[in-house]
Amino acid sequence: MIACKTGMYIAVAAALTLSFALAQAPRPLLNEPAHSAPKPAAVAYLYPEQITVPAGKPTTIALHFRIAPGLHINSHMPREIELIPTVFSIPDGSGARLDAAVYPPGADITLPLDPQTKLSVYTGDFIIQARIVASAGEHLVEARLHYQACDNNACMPPKTITAAIDVIGK
Amino acid sequence: MKRNTLVITAVLFILAAFAWAGWANWEYRKQAAERLLATSAQAELVPATGSSDSPLQFLPALLGKPAPAFTLEDLSGKKVSLASYKGKALVINFWATWCAPCKLETPWLVELRNQYAAQGFEVLGVSADDIDRGDPQKLNDEKRAIARFVQEMHMPYPVLIDADSISRPYGGLDDLPTSFFVDRDGTVIAAQVGLTSKDDTERNIKKALGIVK
């Protein structure tokens, strides 16, 4: 009788343990839908995430961005009028305003199928020197970068990403 | 004795279950990390489908199906519907003024259109440039930019605007140029995403015309 009771307790404990283990173990990835991974953005803002600047005084900060491998974006001064330039901006009412932005010069590239036409682009990492004026206090500035990305064969529609920067004006 | 055996068996079972759960979790995290790494290393664009035999991995739903119906305006404001081209072989070519590869592809389409027009072939160019209908001045400027491109490229075929309004049934149009080849029955028989080659484009046009299979 005692052995029977012990056996029952053990069976219940084993069943609970198995249920717990099954709940912890994830399902294999092969069963997940193929589209579950979000598309990566062509350009990502890297840093700084936080800066402290003298309140009311123009201060230059270096903003670092990264372009996905295999892609390029037009520089701030593309060679043709139709091409969309890369532009950095800070929305009004952010607690900090953009006084001026200095963009890196674009690198000249040509598409493999059109070696005659030069394009002025950014690839890899690039830095925009932004001169900002912040009011006193802490502001979460959602700066914007507008760009248009391509690879050698195709282009994506223009896009605006947000560069979130915690600006502390002292 | 029997009780001891039962206890030992149960303990071993419990330990094995935990070990298995731990291993499965570790394996899952490893795969997830590898997938994240692979995703971050990828470009966002879909590779061009080089030949007409390439599977339409980006839009398998459209291949062999009727081209999604649409009615769009041309630059003069005239409404143009896909249905009005029934009986013709078509290339529905999505492009934009800001798309450098489109500038390379367009002259090929112009040449091929002129070459095969007599056999019942037409190109419908659909501009993916932004259209601000709420701002007449902006809309006018945008239309003028498109018209400038059309003039520079000597595009002899209908050019429609506002691709964005029909992008969903055509797979999102995340990459330009994108072309759909439609046969005389209105069925999508091939597609190209990105710049391929004039030869590939011509092969798909012949397929749409029924000259080659």
Choose among A3, A14, A42: nearest Cβ to B13.
A14
Using the predicted structure, report yes or no on whether residue B4 has a pLDDT greater than 80. Answer: no
Choose among A20, A82, A154: nearest Cβ to B194.
A154
Query: What's the Rg (C-alpha) of chain B?
Result: 26
Nearest to B6 by CA among A82, A97, A85, A11: A11
Would you call A151 an interface residue with chain B, using a CB distance cutoff of 8 Å? yes
* pLDDT at residue number A4: 52
Provide the pLDDT confidence category of residue B89 given band limits of 50, 70 and 90.
very high
In this structure, is the dihedral angle defined by the CA atoms of residues B151, B201, B174 and B65, taken in order, positive or negative?
positive
Provide the pLDDT confidence category of residue A77 given band limits of 50, 70 and 90.
very high
* pLDDT at residue number A3: 52
* pLDDT at residue number B42: 37
Output the CA–CA distances (angstroms, integers) from residue B168 to A154, B35, B67, B164, B171, in the order listed: 19, 27, 12, 8, 5
Q: Which residue on chain B is closest to A148 by alpha carbon?
A: B98
Would you call A158 an interface residue with chain B, using a CB distance cutoff of 8 Å? yes
Quote the CA–CA distance of B22 and B24 in Å, as a whole number.
6
Provide the pLDDT confidence category of residue B43 given band limits of 50, 70 and 90.
very low
* pLDDT at residue number B1: 56
Structural contact between residues B212 and B203, judged by C-beta atoms closer than 8 angstroms: yes
Question: Tens of pLDDT along B51-73?
Answer: 333 334 456 689 999 999 999 99
Using the predicted structure, report yes or no on whether residue B50 has a pLDDT greater than 80. Answer: no
Q: Provide, as residue numbers in chain A, all residues whose Cβ is less than 8 Å from the Cβ of B13.
A: 14, 17-18
Would you call A21 an interface residue with chain B, using a CB distance cutoff of 8 Å? yes
Q: Which residue on chain A is closest to B18 by alpha carbon?
A: A21
| Mean pLDDT to the nearest integer, B165-182 | 94
Using the predicted structure, report yes or no on whether residue A2 has a pLDDT greater than 70. Answer: no
Using the predicted structure, report yes or no on whether residue A26 has a pLDDT greater than 50. Answer: no
Q: Provide, as residue numbers in chain B, all residues whose Cβ is less than 8 Å from the Cβ of A69.
A: 41, 43
- pTM for the whole thing? 0.74
Q: Do A25 and B20 touch (CB under 8 A)?
A: yes
Q: Which residue on chain B is closest to A81 by alpha carbon?
A: B98
Q: Do B98 and A155 touch (CB under 8 A)?
A: yes
What is the H or E stretch that residue B79 is in? strand B79-81
pLDDT mean across residues, chain A: 85
Choose among A6, A14, A151: nearest Cβ to B43.
A151
Quote the CA–CA distance of B80 and A124 in Å, as a whole number.
43
